[in-house]
Amino acid sequence: MAKTYGPLIWLQLGSTPVVIVSSVDAAREIMKTHDIIFSNRPFTSVSDRIFYGSKDVVFSPYGEHWRKIKRKTYGFQHMVHWIAKATTHFSVGNYFPSFTWMDRLSGLLREADEIFKESDDLFEGVIEEHVNKKDFGIKGHDLVDILLEIQKDKSTGFELERYMIKAIILVTFI
């Protein structure tokens, strides 16, 4: 079709205009000059119903809400994907302890240390944000707030350490 009609084809699918770009150069030019116009996903009634009125990071329209939600969620999504990938790797040292050096050599243990450091920093930031949210006028109550309240409550006879809160957040999102 591109040979007959050129690199840009405009279609009208019902009431929705659709542009088909079949050239790398044309796509690059469009994304350079009109990226915000084409950055939204098309609205669908099904995704709107399933994803809370398209308020999630995938289906919400580009704008301030999308930027805010992406900053919260991208770190979590990236972390969950990274953890899932790393935990599915075969660890020789788990089955043959005398061969743990192979896990070091392959980089598996280094990657686990990097994941821990990055996730710890991410969750530390989340906790600090919740601890200081009154200072910034943020309202709302979520899992992290509840865990912080349990941590402050000494009457339970159970001391909830900060690292435990991070572990609970991690497991909840995975």
Structure tokens belonging to residue 33? 């000059």
Closest CA to 127 of 95, 98, 169: 169
Distance of CA 31 to the CA centre of its chain: 23
Over residues 111-161, the pLDDT tens digits come to 889 888 888 888 888 888 888 876 555 566 788 888 998 898 888 788 889
Over residues 41-67, the pLDDT tens digits come to 666 666 666 665 666 656 667 777 666
Burial track 45-65 (b if 16+ CB lie within 10 A, e otherwise): eeeeeeeeebeebebbeeeee
This prediction has a pTM of 0.53
Are 80 and 173 in contact, with CB atoms under 8 Å apart? yes
